[in-house]
Amino acid sequence: MCKQSQWDRCVAFHGHECGGLTIGYKAALYAIDLLGLTFSQDENVVCISENDACGVDAIQVLLGCSVGKGNLLFHMRGKQAFSFYERNSGKAVRLVLKPTPAEMSREDSFKYLQEREPSELFEVKEAKIQLPERARLFNSYVCDCCGEKTGENWIRLQGDKKLCLDCFVEYDRFKV
């Protein structure tokens, strides 16, 4: 598939062109080149994003990483950084956006990002976070307080009741 078509699909999904979308687009292309990635129908390709900004949409479109599939995870650090993993090969890479020229207009910044090759935009580092396990399926329980079904890993016992996190009152003597 040609790069223009890939870009157009990202824009259609995201809703508009912007520098942030370009960052994720270029990161995904670079990860494809570095790790030999293809669109993930399952959880073989994993992305851990250190932000929840526009670029994540391009990663979803190009690599098939999504929250629902469990192969798009967020490790919020406010950085334009993305770790990509390929489960079958065990290969991984962390891409960190290099500093861009200061004091550019939005239009100039967009143009700058669009015109650069991914290797010019990102520093390639070793992935810091260990590859997460595959997504698990959990049983659900009805909260004894609100009556809503909740996954077992989010249920807390309080007395003889099973409570969801919204109904559970945490005991902490240091919080006033």
Mean pLDDT of 99-112: 94
Count CB atoms within 10 A of the CB of residue 116: 15
Read off the amino acid at residue 106.
Answer: R
Amino acid letter, 25: Y
Give the span between the Cα atoms of 153 and 49, in whole angstroms: 23
**In whole angstroms, what separates CA 27 from the centre of its chain?**
12
Distance CA 124, CA 24 (A): 15
Where residue 2 falls among pLDDT bands split at 50, 70, 90? confident
Q: What is the pTM of this model?
A: 0.85
Kindly state the tokens that stand for 35: 């790790």
Q: What would the mean pLDDT of 56-85 be, rounded to a whole number?
A: 97
Tokens of 38: 């293809």
Confidence of residue 91 (pLDDT cuts 50, 70, 90): very high
pLDDT given at position 87: 95
Convert the pLDDT of each residue in 18-62 to its tens digit: 999 999 999 999 999 999 999 999 999 999 999 999 999 999 999
- The two beta strands, 45-49 and 72-74, are parallel
63 near 71, Cβ under 8 Å? no
pLDDT-derived band at 1 (thresholds 50, 70, 90) equals low
Q: Which domains does the chain have, with CATH numbers?
A: 3-125 (3.30.1330.130), 136-176 (3.30.60)
Q: Round to whole Å and give the CA distance between 110 and 108.
A: 5
Please report the pLDDT score of residue 145 as a whole number: 97
Q: Is 176's pLDDT higher than 90?
A: no
* pLDDT range class, residue 171, cuts 50, 70, 90: confident
Q: Give me the mean pLDDT over the 165-172 stretch.
A: 91
Average pLDDT over residues 51-80: 97
Query: What are the backbone angles phi and psi of residue 106, rounded to the nearest 5°?
Result: -55, -45
- Amino acid letter at 69? K
Q: What values do phi and psi take at 134, rounded to 5? A: -65, 155
Strand partners, 170: none
Helix, strand, coil abundance in the chain, percent, nearest 5: 30, 20, 50
**Predicted pLDDT of residue 136:** 86
Considering all CA atoms of the chain, what is the largest pairwise distance in Å, rounded to the nearest integer?
Answer: 62
